[in-house]
Structure 1
Amino acid sequence: MFYSFFASKKWALWAYLGLFLLLLFLYLQTSFNVALNSWYNDFYNTIQKPKINAIVLNFDEAKFKQDFKITPSLLRELHIDSKDYNQSFVYEKAKAKKIQEIQNENKQRLNIETTQNSSYIDKDIFRQIIQILEEQKDYKEQNLTQISQKIKDKNILKQNLSLDQINLLVQSVIKANEQAKNSFENANFINKFAIYYYQNLLKYFLHTPAILEKPFYDLQDFYSLIFVFLGIAIPYVIIATINIYFASIYAFKWREAMTFSYLKFWKNKDDNIEGSSQRIQEDAYNFSKIVESLGLAFIKALMTLIAFIPILWNLSDLTTKALFFNLDENSSFYFLKNMDGLLVYIALFISLGGLIASWFVGIKLPGLEYNNQKAEAAFRKELVYAEDNRKEYAKNETIIELFTGLKFNYKRLFLHYGYFNIWLILFEQVIVIIPFLIMAPSLFGGIITLGIVMQINNAFDQVRSSFSVFITNWTTITQLRSIYKRLKEFEINIEYKDLIQKLS
């Protein structure tokens, strides 16, 4: 199975260079996922603090008149006696009420806008400060007041800001730069490219390697982050598409190597080996395809774990103390309060628990798949023989007997897959809410923001799904075990391994 492709000089280039390219594509996809995880934090924090540009709504009398209808609930709202009322009077009163509601809404939005405008700093100010700091290479050696004073002395800022205000802005810019630098330096080898790429996208669209802390974010910030998202998503889609296409070719090349390797030995055997055509034609292809897809899935899961475990580990600190805030020192679970990387352990525990449960729930599936394929092979063989000799083969009683066995196998298979799917779907649905349950105390306690919530949720899902790669692909693994069993049996029948050893 593996020898014909990976140990053959003829296929060495495809086997190893192709594998390298597939791994490279997986690395890039993982990197883009890491970049997207950082984007979640920035994007959701931005939409959590929108800069309101109030839209003043007008009363549309034509639409109001069209929709107007006198109902008991409307009369109660207007405090009008339902037994004695004038239609035009009700209309005018309802109209006045609607106008008042619209005016109140407009006033509320305008008040918010006015309040925000009083503390709003034009984004060009930030750009100017960033530019000035970039020009002054030695700004790190100066204190904050010196830098702010130099900026104020230049007298180039659009707004007339006090020294304290400039101090805060400079502090925000320096903090963003330091945050970006630390994020890159502390990243592991898989995340380096992702962080570098994401920071350069932010620089291009927002002129800073990390999102600046501001009281409010305007619509332009929102659109800039949408463009950042597209800068991540579009390359990801292109690479993922190339990867899928190339993986299909890779699997077919593997099948080709297996097919012609088996044919060479099978032709030298005089014995009538049952199901040999299926082994060479169907199982060889399915084996190469499934091994390739599962192998890449496992490697991708490993890369994802290497990339996201450090992220989730660091984010765990923000949730652990709030989650166990009320634990008493005498509690048996008090150690959890100071436990590092709690979310990683929870993801691992859930995945291992799910894997063990899946193993027991689906323990009969490989054997049933194997028996089913044997029944399918016998039925197909009878039909193939009947193509050349319909009188001797495919007799009614034979077909009924074979199909009855096939039907019995499928009924058992469907039944066992039925309860296995109940477990699998239930497991996948329940784990969706687990990270939110863990983060709720921190979110409502004001420790984390919406951006952190979404970032943790995404990182948790990445880690958990990577730990759960066996559960996710359990059905495919079951099929592979069945195919492997049949091919192994076929190799023994054609003395494949013995002849290979003699040749080598």
Structure 2
Amino acid sequence: MFVSFFPRPKLFLWSALIWTALSMALWYGYAGSLVVSSASEVIGVSRFWSAPHLWFDLYFAVSVALFASFWMVLAPHPWANWSILGSALILFTSYFQVQVSVALNDWRGPFYDLIQKALTPASRGAVTRAEFYGSLLTFASIATVAIVVIVLTRFFVSHYIFRWRTAMNDFYVANWPRLRTIEGASQRVQEDTMRFATITEGLGVSLISSILTLIAFFPVLLRLSTYVTELPIVGVIPYPLVVAAVVWSMFGTGLLALIGIRLPGIEFRNQRVEAAYRKELVLGEDSASHANPPTLATLFANVRRNYFWLYWNYMYFNVGRFVYLQTDVIFPYILLVPTFVVGMITFGIMQQILNAFSQVQHSFQYLVTSWSTIVDLISVQKRLLAFEAVLLGDPLPSIESEAKPATR
């Protein structure tokens, strides 16, 4: 799954994590302070080509170039340009999209304060149309840059995923004589390789975005916590918004992981009974001795039984998930009730708090928002692990030795 696309995957992953940690430590400890300006106070698209931002872009490019050069010399790989440089580009665009979110959060404060000022009877007429249009134009300029980057990134990611699928496909096809005896081998090569690459890339980008969002918005939420006087029930505590975001997110993550623990195995078995049913239909296209009605009825009964069991497990999983997510919508408002009643914040600051809290909260809720996708990935990985076992000469995973669906 990985060796076909990445050079020496385990060592590569650990070296990437260590290099990233060292690069971040050097940036926050020294390099980031070499270029100082008031760019963080700039509200508008110009912040993206301010000196600090351009300096970070250069720093990132140099770090990636050094890392990629090391690996291309140490372990040349036919897919190195895509796996190393392509992954780095996706990482950078994820960082850029987080910076767009920060820029929009900074824009929200003055804009909503402008609305509050315009709607206050005592200051009626103090806000001009030009000020409103100017603020909306600022939003449009930031959004335009974001849209261009997102569209180009999606285009690149589509090619990145297909290259990964191609690498896996070529690797498995080259070993097809050894893999063909695995149940549903054709489906695993044709379908599961694409699903694995797609899901892994999506989850990886989501995880990276969550980490980068946390790094970007954590200081913002710390600063905005000074406006919050106390929290309901618990009262006055240090950094109340940060504490609330962490505790609430950990609760949701633990809850969803607990009630969804059986789903990966059920998804795997679902693919298994589907493969048996599909195989019989394919054989029936070439031979009248296959795909007779009794056999198909039995196989489809296996499909139906597994789907109904899957639906039942997803039902109580979705109850917990959607109750939590709906409560999540009003949770920050509940936290701000004591602050509302004493009139400690303006409308603009409230919007900044809600957005920053949501960003930090969702960063911690990675497993909550991605659990269904993770379940799908685990089921696909279980199917491809059978190939890995055969190629390495290891025993097949235990789930592969379960009784096959009956056909008679």
Query: Helix, strand or coil for the counterpart of 1:473?
Result: helix
Query: Aligned residue pairs: how many?
Result: 327
* C-alpha displacement of 1:42: 1.0
Letter in structure 2 aligned against 1:447: M
CA contact (8 A) 2:113 2:347 kept: yes
SS of structure 1 residue aligned to 2:236: helix
1:32-77 C-alpha deviation (Å, 9 max, x unpaired): 100000111111100000189xxxxxxxxxxxxxxxxxxxxxxxxx
The match for 1:308 is 217
CA distance in 1, matches of 2:387, 2:117: 65
TM-score normalized by the length of structure 2: 0.76
- Rate the CA distance shift 1:497–1:221 in 2: closer, same or farther, 3 A: farther
Counterpart in the other structure of 2:195: 286
Normalising by structure 1, we get a TM-score of 0.62
For residue 296 of structure 1, report the CA deviation from its aligned partner: 0.3
Q: CA deviation at 1:496?
A: 7.3
Give a deviation string over 1:156-182, Cα, whole Å, max 9, x none.
xxxxxxxxxxxxxxxxxxxxxxxxxxx
> SS state of the match for residue 118, structure 2?
coil
2: CA distance between counterparts of 1:483 and 1:435? 37
Aligned equivalent of 2:181, options 267, 272, 275: 272
Structure 1 residues 349 and 397, CA gap change in structure 2 (3 angstroms): same
Match of 1:15 in 2: 83
Counterparts of residues 90-169 of structure 1 (less than 5 Å) = 116=123
Instruction: Give yes or no for contact 2:281–2:290 (8 Å, CA) kept in 1.
Output: yes
Aligned residue number for residue 127 of structure 1:
none
Q: Compared with structure 1, are the counterparts of its residues 424 and 51 closer, same or farther at alpha carbon in structure 2 (3 Å cutoff)?
A: closer
Structure 2 letter corresponding to 1:246: F
RMSD: 2.0
Q: Which amino acid aligns with 1:384?
A: V
C-alpha distance in 2 between matches for 1:270 and 1:39: 56
- State the Cα deviation string for residues 176-198 of structure 1 (Å, max 9, x = none): xxxxxxxxxxxxxxxxxxxxxxx
C-alpha separation in 1, matches of 2:78 and 2:334: 55
1:200-239 matches, within 5 Å, as 216-239=126-149
Letter in 1 for 2:190: Q
Change (3 A) 1:263 1:228: same
Matched, 1:249 2:317: no
Sequence identity percentage: 39
- The aligned runs of 1:242-391 (5 Å cut-off) are 242-267=152-177, 269=178, 272-319=181-228, 321-323=229-231, 337-339=236-238, 341-389=239-287, 391=288
Q: Kindly tell me: are residues 284 and 13 of structure 1, through their superposed partners in 2, closer, same or farther at Cα, counting changes over 3 Å?
A: same
Aligned: 1:467 with 2:364? yes
Unaligned runs of 5+ in 1: 53-111, 121-215, 328-332, 499-504
CA 1:270 to 1:307, structure 2 compared with 1: closer, same or farther past 3 Å?
closer
| 1:71 corresponding residue in structure 2 | none
Q: Name the counterpart of 2:47.
A: none
- Could you report, residue by residue, the CA deviation over 1:297-323 in whole angstroms, capped at 9, with x for unpaired residues? 00000000000011011111211x244
Measured at CA, do residues 21 and 473 of structure 1 come closer, stay the same or move farther in structure 2, by a change above 3 Å?
same
SS for the counterpart of 1:448 is coil
Contact 1:312 1:459 in 2 (8 A): yes
CA deviation string 1:2-23 (max 9, x = no partner): 1100126110001111111111
**Displacement after TM superposition at 1:231 (Å):** 1.2
Do the aligned partners of residues 116 and 451 (structure 1) sit closer, same or farther apart at CA in structure 2, a change above 3 Å counting? closer
Distance (whole Å) between structure 2 residues aligned to residue 346 and residue 442 of structure 1: 15
Q: CA deviation at 1:446?
A: 2.0
| 2:393 is equivalent to residue 479 of structure 1 | no
Matches of 1:260 and 1:436 in 2, distance apart? 53
**Structure 2 CA distance for partners of 1:448 and 1:271, relative to 1, 3 Å:** closer
* Equivalent AA in structure 2 for residue 219 of structure 1: R
Structure 2 residue 292 is the aligned partner of structure 1 residue 395: yes
* Residues 270 and 51 of structure 1: CA distance in aligned 2, closer, same or farther (over 3 Å): closer
Match of 1:407 in 2: 304
Give the conservation status (yes or no) of the 8 Å contact 1:435–1:460: yes
Is the contact made by 2:179 and 2:390 (CA closer than 8 Å) also made in structure 1?
Answer: no
Change (3 A) 1:21 1:497: farther
| Structure exhibiting the larger radius of gyration computed from Cα positions | 1
Specify the alignment match of 1:443 in structure 2.
340
Rounded Cα–Cα distance in structure 1 between residues aligned with 2:5 and 2:179: 26
Contact 2:221 2:356 survives alignment (8 Å): yes
Q: C-alpha separation between the residues in 2 aligned to 1:412 and 1:261?
A: 35
